[in-house]
Amino acid sequence: MFLRVLVFYLVTMVFSGILNALQAATGPSPDLIQLVQFAPALGVGVMFVVFRRTTRVDARFTPATVAAGRSALVVGIVVAAMLVSVVVYVVAGRTWRAESLPFPFWALVITMVVGAAGEELGWRAYLQPYLQTRFSVLRSSLIVGVLWGFWHIGGFSHGPAYMGLFVVMATALSVVMGGVLRGARRSNLVVATTAHAAVNLSLILLFTEEDGDLFPMAVLAAVWTIAAIAVSSVQVRRAVEVEDRAAGPVRLG
């Protein structure tokens, strides 16, 4: 298993370098779309070629009601987390994003959704379900989160402290997404894309965390860690309730 995960990760990193170079050469604005977001999807493509018979991707769009319900849930969690972050900003006397958006909002929505789908095809639609064939949802989410966080290797340009906080935020967000996806019934791509795009849109609307400032990244890491603990606690409590019902006495007659 770990060999296959390593192959996927290394292939994804190679594609990331190629796509970053392509973007630098061709010139699409990274504020609108980042080509590197499609590296995980290309990595899955390679896994299909190399491990064709055993590569599975949870990218189904049905049942629609489950996908819609879980998507609404995860968007609600994102909104709540961002509102808490804004409150922290206000209390700390900090201001959030001051400058205008670099592109029309509708264009950002489209590119954020497309880019998020490119990433989530690899992280939550392929890697998460694959890891869950051996590990628990929580452990799988932690592994995906750490790999996902360090995949954003450009964060090291702002120093190890910034990158460390970013990895914490990414890992916590991965745990939240993993918990929501637990009952998504193979609608991983839809739900994960919704969550990812909502987070990215919230960040670009509210914060300028990509300028290397440690304060917003620390706030986001802390808020999402609290959210991850809350979601994990709910999942554990539900699992215990299910076990208790299963172990309860059966009434005959």
**Chain centre distance of CA 98:** 26
Q: What is the pTM of this model?
A: 0.88
| Lowest mean per-residue pLDDT among 146-150, 193-197, 234-238 | 234-238
Q: What tens digit of pLDDT does each residue of 168-193 get? A: 999 999 999 999 888 666 667 888 99
Distance CA 4, CA 147 (A): 14
Distance CA 194, CA 174 (A): 13
* Phi–psi pair at 182, nearest 5 degrees: -55, -40
Q: Which two tokens stand for residue 110?
A: 């489209």
